[in-house]
């Protein structure tokens, strides 16, 4: 079942808030298969104040984080119990084979795609890619797990 998610629905799934919510819209979501989402990158992003003032570039770790957030939305929508347990927190647990291919700058639309979702015990693994104007900006294999929010404190 393919669907689209707007920001209010994204905020129900992710605990992140400004300035760390890095997914603006989900344009395609097929549980257990693929998610396509995007982040509009503007000069008003707080990280551009220091990275870098004379040549603003989105930090690679934040591109990875945006991909991870999209991946968590895919994971949450691929579980039968995703809406049943409001206390579940999904945690980004690993990065493999991360590569950065082009800078992401103010005015870019960072298009994110996560696919090839696999689950083993409580761990999910997926391929993630980020594009700008159809050009590959970053890619990585990401892993995530879930826990009860009470276990974090």
What digits encode the pLDDT tens for the residues 38-97?
999 999 999 999 999 999 999 999 999 999 999 999 999 988 654 446 677 888 999 999
Read off φ and ψ for residue 134, nearest 5 degrees: 80, -5
The correct answer on CATH 3.30.70.260 for the domain covering 7-151 is no
The stretch 104-131 carries a mean pLDDT of 96
pLDDT-derived band at 150, boundaries 50, 70, 90:
confident
- For the chain, the first-to-last Cα distance in angstroms comes to 36
The stretch 101-107 carries a mean pLDDT of 98
Buried b (16+ CB within 10 A) or exposed e, 10-36: beebbeeeeeebbbbebeebebeebbb
Which pLDDT does position 82 carry in this prediction? 47
Indicate the domain borders of the chain: 7-151
Could you say which of 51, 102, 125, 129 is catalytic?
51
The mean pLDDT of the chain is 92
Which pLDDT does position 121 carry in this prediction? 85
In this predicted structure, which of 7-11, 80-84, 123-127 has the lowest mean pLDDT?
80-84
Let me know if 51 is a catalytic residue.
yes
């Amino acid at each position: 079942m393919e669907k689209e998610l707007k920001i209010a629905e994204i905020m129900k799934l992710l605990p992140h808030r400004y300035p760390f919510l890095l997914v603006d819209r989900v344009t395609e979501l097929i549980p257990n298969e693929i998610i396509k989402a995007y982040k509009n990158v503007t000069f008003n992003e707080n990280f551009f104040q220091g990275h870098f003032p004379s040549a603003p570039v989105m930090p690679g770790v934040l591109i990875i984080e945006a991909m991870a957030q999209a991946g968590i939305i895919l994971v949450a929508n691929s579980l039968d119990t995703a809406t049943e347990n409001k206390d579940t927190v999904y945690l980004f647990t690993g990065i493999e084979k991360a590569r950065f291919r082009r800078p992401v700058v103010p005015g870019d639309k960072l298009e994110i795609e996560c696919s090839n979702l696999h689950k083993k015990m409580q761990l999910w693994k997926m391929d993630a890619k980020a594009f700008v104007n159809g050009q590959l900006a970053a890619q990585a294999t990401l892993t995530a797990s879930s826990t009860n929010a009470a276990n974090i404190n």
